[in-house]
Amino acid sequence: MKSKLIFTAIAAAVLAACGGGGGGSSGFASLPIGSVAPPSSGGAPAPSPAPSPAPSPAPAPATRTYMYETLSPAADKDAFLGHLNAEGGRSFRFLTGLAFVSGQSVSTVEAYVKDGTASYVYELLDTATSRSAFQAQLDAQGARGFRWAGSYAVGGANVTLYRKDDSSTYSYVLTAPQSSSAGFLQEANAQGANGYLNLAPSFMVGTEAVAIYEKGSAGGARYVYEFPSSPSSDGDLLAQFNAQGARSFRFRSPYHFTDRDGLLYVQDSSQSSTFSFSALDPTDSSAKWVEQANAQGAQGRGLIGDYMMPSGQTKNIFFAASSCTGELCNSTSLFGR
């Protein structure tokens, strides 16, 4: 049977959350100095010194790896916060809820990912019921270094997650969602040029939908968006993922606008990252999910999530990032943070 990710609250693009990254190292090989023997009296001149060896190449940048684990679902808000902060202290960031269906039974878990050395501190706040209240909450939390990490349902209540992982502060812009793909691209690219990453093209706050943009105080990321149509075959879809990834565009999510459907991609134009994508069969239990995700993660492939392919088959989509720092290298859930 297939696994299915539970997504609560964000019907939009992925990405985000920090978590450190694999850093590269470089060095210089010491060059031995050739020595010349003094000439022997009346003998032949000393031979020329042997040429110095060529310097060793600098080591390749370290590959970011991803480690996953799951916990049994928390019974209530306080228990969930305990899970978040205990895992966060071990550098595991909350990823999403997962449900595994086998026959008539359904089992659920909380999934966490470690893709760096940062530690995380979480706060859970009541869900805002209006755009103005949500903006005020975002501004207050962002000024304290807590970034929005989505909404989640636990113990019969909806809560909003905020996560702190470094000394950065965060600012947020809320706009009315764009109904057309052209309108979205125009707005998202204008915001992206100012360093604002789109976290959700449309997110419900009370009875009003908003688009959410986030900018961190550290770094100089500049974001560019594209929205090609979704291919009609599984092979063409993966080919599109990888062609876009070779151009530094990371796949975020499918999306529906009033004029057309398509796939959202984002590029950080301040760096020359590349991305590659692969698709594996889904698993039918949390233990197998962890086994598959960690096998891929050890090879530098982060999980995006399970995805309905054009054929109707569900696949687990993984990505690998090269020459990448910042937001777009992070493992995030599809439609998640």
270-282 residue pLDDT tens: 999 999 999 999 9
Q: How far apart are CA 144 and CA 170, in angstroms?
A: 8
At 63 the pLDDT is 76
**C-alpha distances in Å from residue 78, one per residue of 122, 134, 150, 314:** 12, 22, 17, 34
pTM of the model: 0.81
Q: pLDDT tens digits for 243-253?
A: 999 999 999 99
Other CB atoms within 10 A of residue 62 CB:
12
Q: What is the mean pLDDT of the chain?
A: 84
Residues 133-162: tens digit of each pLDDT: 999 999 999 999 999 999 999 998 999 999
Q: In angstroms, rounded to a whole number, what is the distance separating the alpha carbons of residues 267 and 273?
A: 8
Alpha carbons 309 and 19: distance in angstroms, whole number: 29
pLDDT tens digit sequence for 171-201: 999 999 999 999 999 999 999 999 999 999 9
